[in-house]
Structures are given as C-alpha cells and as structure tokens.
Amino acid sequence: MRIPKTLTLEESVLAEMERTKGDRSTSERVNELLKRALELERHDKLEREAALFYSAVNHQERQEERAFQKASLRSLTRD
C-alpha cells in the first residue's frame, strides 16, 4: 500500500532521479532508491554487529573454535 507523502529534496537529487528514472514514474524511482538504501543500511548494520561480535572474542575462544573446526574436518574426512 502506498501512502502519499510530501518530501523536500535537493535540486541535484531530484535532477539525478529524473535523469535516471527511464520510463518509470518519479514515485516508482524514489521507492526503488529508498528500498535499496534501506537494504544497504541493514547490510552495513549487520557487518558492524558481526565485527563487534568477533572483536569481543578472546584468544582462548579462538583457539577452541579452531580446534573444533580441525576436529570436525578430521571427522568428515574419515567418513
């Protein structure tokens, strides 16, 4: 469902949207760009969360994880 909304845009942004919209309406182009921007923000947030998570892992935990990975690989190669 689309809801009418009034926004204020910079002239350069509006000009670029008009230039790149092709046969689509300005509204369709704005929706497309906003969806892509929101997806990029979600992706960036996940990357920051992953970096924070792995930066908090200490040396001992990393060693345990590597040992588990090696044991798993050995187990898989025996089967």
Domain boundaries defined on the chain = 11-78
Instruction: Give the pTM.
Output: 0.64
* Distance, CA of 58 to CA of 64 (rounded, Å): 10
* Distance, CA of 27 to CA of 23 (rounded, Å): 12
9 contact partners, CB below 8 Å, separation of at least 6: 17
pLDDT tens-digit profile of 21-77? 999 999 999 999 999 999 999 999 999 999 888 787 777 778 888 888 888 888 888
Cα radius of gyration rounded to whole Å, the chain: 24
Confidence at residue 41, expressed as pLDDT on a 0 to 100 scale:
98
Among candidates 28, 5, 6, which has minimal Cα distance to 18?
Answer: 28
Higher pLDDT, 79 or 59: 59
